[in-house]
Structure 1
Amino acid sequence: MSDTFDMVIIGAGLSGIGSACRYVTEFPDGQFAVLESREAIGGTWDLFRYPGIRSDSDMLTLGYDFRPWPGVKTLAGGPAIKAYVEDTARAYGIDDHIQFHSRVIAADFDTSTDLWTLTINDTCDGSQRTIRTRFVLSCAGYYRYDKGHDPHFDGREDFAGDIVHPQFWPEDYDYADKRIAVIGSGATAVTLVPELAKTARHVVQVQRTPTYVASLPSEDPVMKITDRILSKKLSYRINRWKNVKLAGSIYRRAKKNPAKTRRNIRKRAIKALGKEYPVDIHFNPPYEPWDQRLCVVPEGDMFKAINRGEASIVTGQIDRFVDAGILMQDGTLVEADIIVTATGLEMNFGRNYPIAIDGNVYDQSEHFLFKGAMTSDLPNMIAVTGYTNASWTLRADLLGRYLIRLMKYMRERGFTRVMPVAPEGMVRHPVSDFQSGYFRRVIDTLPRQGDRMPWLNVQNYKHDVKHLIEAPIEDDALHFSQVDTKAEPLPEAAE
C-alpha cells in the first residue's frame, strides 16, 4: 500500500465511513486511506456494548442522506447501526482502504512540501510507521476510546459488589436478579436503566442533578404514511428534511421561550408518571432546556419502568460507597449488588495526539474556528464535530463535503495548501455556551470562536448548508498557496 495519499481519514466510524463514501464518489481514482485504531468498523457503535445501547438522535438524520436508513425504529440499537455502517463501507468499497490497528500518535505539517506526516502506532505489536498525505480529515469523534470519565468516590474499595463503567461493559456480564445502582443522568444512564430493569431485581438511578427527559414514538408516524403512498427514496428524503426542520424548530423555540418549554416537558413527565410522582425533584433540572443535551426515550420506556416498580430514582449528593451500596449525604442508603458509573466521557474533540507545523507544536486553544470546520493557521486539516442540538451526522457530512469542495477547487487552480487566517485583534469567545459537564471540563483546550462570520460556531444545519456547501469557496479568511516544487496533482473529480 502506498505511503503517500491525497487524503487520510482518521476513524472508521459513522463519520469516517460517510466521508470516505463522499470522497470515492467525487474522486473515484483518488489515493486515500482510512486509519482505525481498533480492529473493526463502527466507531462508537462497535466500542459501546452496554445493555440497550442505542442512538439518541432519530435515524433519519443520524443515517446517511445518500444511503437511506433501512430500519423502522426512530431510535435504533447499536448493533443495527454498526451493521449499517459496515454495509455502507462494503457497498462503496471503503473496507479495502481501511488500515486497522493504526493509531495516529503525531501529525506534523511540512511547509516545504505541503504534506502532513502522520506517525502511526500499530496497536497489535507496538511498532511505528509514518505515512504522508496532502489532507487530513479527523473523524475520531469527540471522546477518548481508552478512558471514560470516572470521578473519585470515597469508600470505593469498601463496596462488596462489582463496579462497572458502561464504556467497558464486560462481555456476557450476568446481572440477572441483581440490585443495580446506575450513577448518572445523561443519555447512557436513561438508556441503561429501563434495559437493565428487564432482568435485574431492581435498578436505582442515582443522580446529582435531574435531566430533561422526553419520549419519542418508536416509529415515525408520518413516515409510516408516506411510505405507503410514495417511493421509498422520496419518502425518506421528505421525512429526513421534516426531522431536520422539526429539531431546529424545537431548539429555537426552547431558546426563545425556555420557561414555556420547561412547562411543556414537565407536563408530559407528569402525564407519564402521574400527579403523585415527585417530578420536580427527579425530572425538573435547575438549568434551562438545551443548556445541556435533552435525553430522549423510545415510547417512554424509562417512565414505564418506574411505573412498574422495576426502577426508581434517587436525586442528591453521594457521600460515599459502603459495603452494601451507596450512602447519600442525606443518609439514604441505596442498596446495590452492582454499581454502574455512567458518569460520562473523557473528551478530546478529534485530536488526542500532538500536532505540529515544521516541528513546532500547534496549540489549538490559541486559535479560532473557521466555519466550524478548520482552525486558524492550521493548513489542510478538518476535525469533524457534530451538533450539540441535533444529529451528529448532519454536521459531520457537511464538513466532509466541504473538504472535498476545497480539494476540487485547489486541484483546478494548482494550489497545494489552504489555511484560514484570523483578523488581528478579533475578540475571543468560548467555542460554545453548551453546559454539559463533559464539555465544560475541556473547553479551555478547544479553539475559540470570534465575533463575526466566518468565525462564529453556529449550531444550525440550514446555516451550515449555506456557508459550507452553497457559498463560494473563496473567502478573505482563506489563504491558498502552492509549494515551490512541483506538487503531486490531486485526483480528477468525477463528472
Structure 2
Amino acid sequence: MPDTLLQPETDLRTEHFDVLIVGAGISGIGGAYHLTTQRPGTSFVVLESQHSFGGTWLTHKYPGIRSDSDLYTFGYRFKPWVGPPIAAASEILRYMGEVIEENGLSPHIRYNHLIHSAAWDSAAKLWTLLATDTATGERRRFTTNFLWMCQGYYRHAEGYTPEWPGMQDYKGRILHPQTWPEDLDYTGQRVLVIGSGATAATVVPAMAGKAAHVTMLQRSPTWFRIGRNGIDIADQLRELKVDESWVHEIVRRKILFEQAKFTARSFSEPDKVAAELLHEVKRIVGPDYDVGTHFTPRYRPWHQRLAYVPDGDLFQAVADGKASVVTDEVERFTEKGVLTKSGQELEADIIVTATGFHLNVLGDIAFTIDGKPLDFHETVTYRGMMFTGMPNLVWVFGYFRASWTLRADLVADFVCRLLAEMKERGARQVEVALRPEDHNMPLLPWIDPQNFNPGYLMRGMHLLPRRGDKPEWQHNQDYWSEKDQFPGIDLKDSAFVYSR
C-alpha cells in the first residue's frame, strides 16, 4: 500500500464543490459544459484518474481504433461534427479538446486523481470523496453536495481474457486491445485475433496491411452493418454552403430516425434484416465464400451490439486474402499458437484477445451510505440514472443500440433541472424511493437478457441494480421515446423525496 494511503485523514485539506463529476470522458466533459451553460455560478470539479481527457479514446491504443457509431450522434448536440461519420480516436480527442477549450472547462478538471472512496453523510447532507493524485502521490479530500458519475461502465486498467489451458506454453506474445503497447511492430508477423466483436472488426483490417496474415478466430459470428464512411446529405448540404450547425442537426435527425426504424425492424422482421445485412457481406467476399458459417450469427440482429463497418474494410481484407476467418473454439494454447476444438492448429507470432472487458460498477469506488457499505445490486434504478437509497447522485449509463452521448446529453439536462428544483425548494437532499403503488412491483435484472445479452453484462448482472416493470423504474434503451420523456419527468412526483 502506498504511504499516501496511510496518511491520517485529519491532515488532509478539504475542497468543497456544489457538484463533483467523476470522469473526463465523453459524459463528464458534456456534463461540465451543460453545468456552465444551464447552471452558471455552480461550483464544480471534474476528477479524472487518467493523465488527460477522453476516457476510452485516450486509453485504447490498438491499431485502427475508431468509433463504432456515427459521430453526428456520438458527438454532442451543441457542437457540430464536420468529419466523416466513423472517426478515429485521434479525431474524437481533437473534437473533445475543442469543447474544453472553447468553453473554458480546463480549470475545472483535475487529472491523475484516482478516487478510492465516496461516503454519504445524511446529517451533513454531503458526499466526501478521498482520492490520490497519482502524479504527486498526495492524498486529497473533496466534499460535494451532488455527485455526478460519468466514469463509464468498464475497467480501463485491464480487459477480459478467459483463462485457456496452455497459455503459459505459448512462446509468442499475448495482447489485449485495452493494454496495447504503443511501440509494437507487427510488420511481417502472423497475427491471430480471438473474438468477433467491434474491436476485432477494427483490429483485423487495421493490422492486415502490415502483418504477414491476420486470422480472426471466433466462437460464433457477429452482426455488422456495412456502409460508406460518408453521408450523402451532409456532402450535399456542404456543397450548398449550409451552416455547419444546420448540417449537424439535419444529419443527426436523419440518422436517429433511420436508426430507430432499423432497430424496430430488427424486432418486427428479423429475417428480412438479416438477409439485407448478409447481402452486403456477400457482395464483398463473393458468392463462393462460406457466409453461412463465418458471418451468419445464431441470434437476431441487435440482440447484441451491431457495429458499423465503414466501407466494409473487414470483409475487404478477407476478400483480398490478407485476413481469414476461422469459426471454432479454443481447445488450448500450444507453443506455436492455438489448437481449436476441431483439431486445427493456428500458428501465430502474436495473439490478440479481443474478448471483451470487465464491467466497472461505479468506478470501482468504495461507496458507503451513513457508514454502511453500499450493495449496489440491492438498489432499484430510476430510469437507469438514479437509485433507491443513494441520495444526491446521478449515474450516466448510455444506450446499447444508439450513441452513448445521446443519453449523456439527456441526463445532463435532467441533472440541471433537478439542481434547479432543489434550489427552488431549499432542499439539500434528494433521492428516489418506491411509491406506495410500487411496492408490489416485480424486481427484475438490470436488463432483460432476451432483449440484449452481451457477455460483459451477463458476467456482471449480479453487480448491477435491479429494475421494475414500470417505465420509470428501468433503463429502456430507447432514445426515440426518452428524448420526449426526459424533458417531461415530473420532479414533483412522489418518487422524488426531498429534504432540507
Please indicate the TM-score interval, normalised by the length of the shorter structure. Answer: over 0.9
Report what 2:185 is aligned to. 174
Deviations 1:336-385 (A, max 9, x none): 11101111111114331121111112212112110221011211111111
Residues 52-76 of structure 1 show CA distances to partners (whole Å, capped at 9, x for unaligned) of: 00000100000011011132x1110
Q: How many residues of Structure 1 are paired with residues of Structure 2 in the alignment? A: 481
Find the aligned partners of 1:256 and 1:381 in 2 and give their Cα distance.
Answer: 37
The match for 1:490 is none
Moved more, 318-327 or 302-311: 318-327
| TM-score, normalisation: structure 1 | 0.95
Alignment counterpart, residue 470 of structure 2, candidates 449, 452, 466: 452
2:445 is matched with which residue? Answer: 430
* 3-state SS of 2:30 partner: helix
Q: CA deviation at 1:125?
A: 4.3
- Counterpart of 1:188? 199
Matches within 5 A, 1:58-73: 58-71=70-83, 73=84
Shift of 1:124: 3.1
**Alignment partner for residue 291 of structure 2, among 272, 275, 279?**
279
CA RMSD, aligned part only? 1.4
Q: Is the contact between residue 420 and residue 479 of structure 1 (CA under 8 Å) also seen in structure 2?
A: yes
In structure 2, the partner of 1:107 is 118
Q: Contact conserved, 1:384 with 1:399, CA < 8 A, in 2?
A: yes
Pairing of 1:215-226 with structure 2 (within 5 A): 215-226=226-237
Preserved contact between residue 350 and residue 385 of structure 1 (Cα < 8 Å): no
Secondary structure (helix, strand or coil) at the match of 1:7 reads strand
1:157 and 1:278 map into 2 onto residues whose CA distance is: 34
Q: Which residue of 1 aligns with 2:60?
A: 48
**Of residues 345, 348, 360 in structure 1, which corresponds to 2:357?**
345
- Say yes or no: does 1:134 pair with 2:134: no
- Supply the AA of the counterpart residue of 1:431: W
Q: Secondary structure at the match of 1:34?
A: strand
CA contact (8 A) 1:282 1:314 kept: yes
C-alpha distance in structure 2 between counterparts of 1:479 and 1:207, whole Å: 49
Counterparts of 2:445 and 2:274, CA distance in 1: 26
**What is the SS of the residue equivalent to 1:387?**
coil
- Paired amino acid for 2:39: F
Counterpart-to-counterpart distance in 1, 2:137 and 2:266: 49
Opposite residue 446 of structure 1, the aligned amino acid is L
Give the residue type in structure 2 aligned to 1:430.
P
Cα distance in 2, alignment partners of residues 131 and 257 from structure 1: 52
Query: Is 1:258 equivalent to 2:270 in the alignment?
Result: yes
Question: Are 2:253 and 1:238 equivalent residues in the alignment?
Answer: no
| Local SS of the residue matching 1:130 | strand
Cα distance between partner residues in 2 of 1:262 and 1:446: 31
Gaps of 5+ in 1: 483-495
Q: Secondary structure at the match of 1:312?
A: strand
Alpha-carbon offset, residue 2 of structure 1: 7.0
- Amino acid paired to 2:497: H
Q: Distance in 2 between matches of 1:378 and 1:169?
A: 37
Larger deviation, residues 151-160 vs 225-234? 225-234
Contact residue 42 and residue 85 of structure 1 kept, 8 A:
yes
Give secondary structure in 2 for the equivalent of 1:203: strand
Q: Quick one: which amino acid aligns to residue 52 of structure 1? A: G
Residue 336 (structure 2) aligns with: 324
Distance 1:464 1:214 in 2: 25
The CA deviation at 1:473 is: 2.2
Partner Cα separation in structure 1 for residue 50 and residue 475 of structure 2: 31
Q: Deviations over 1:198-256 (max 9, x none)?
A: 11110000111110122121111121112233322112101111111211111111012
- 2:473 partner amino acid: W
Contact preservation (8 Å) 2:71, 2:87:
yes
Is the CA contact (8 Å cut-off) linking 2:63 and 2:207 kept in structure 1? yes
Q: Give 1:19's aligned residue.
A: 31
- Offset of residue 405 of structure 1: 0.8
Distance in 2 (CA, whole Å) between partners of 1:133 and 1:468 is 25
**Structure 1 Cα separation of the partners of residues 471 and 299 of structure 2:** 29
The residue identity in structure 2 corresponding to 1:196 is: M
2:499 matched residue in structure 1:
481
* TM-superposed deviation, 1:458: 1.0
How far does the alpha carbon of each residue in 1:175-217 deviate from its partner, in whole angstroms, 9 at most, with x for none?
0011100011111100000000011110000111110122121
Residues 414, 107 of structure 1: alpha-carbon distance in 2 compared, 3 angstrom cutoff: same
Are 1:395 and 2:410 an aligned pair?
no
Q: Identify which of 444, 457, 460 aligns with 1:442.
A: 460
Question: Does 1:308 pair with 2:323?
Answer: no
- Counterparts of 1:350 and 1:227 in 2: how far apart (Å)? 42
Indicate if the aligned counterparts of 2:19 and 2:147 stay in contact, CA closer than 8 A: yes
Secondary structure of 2:19's aligned partner: strand
Moved more, 399-408 or 220-229: 220-229
8 A Cα contact 2:226 2:277, kept in partner: no
TM-score, structure 2 normalization? 0.94
Distance in 1, matches of 2:238 and 2:147, equals 39
Residue 72 of structure 2 contacts residue 252 of structure 2 at CA under 8 Å; is this kept in 1? yes
The answer for unaligned runs of 5 or more in structure 2 is: 1-12
Do 1:371 and 1:468's aligned partners in 2 also have CA atoms closer than 8 Å? no
Secondary structure of the structure 1 residue equivalent to 2:46: strand
Alignment partner of 1:205 is 2:216: yes
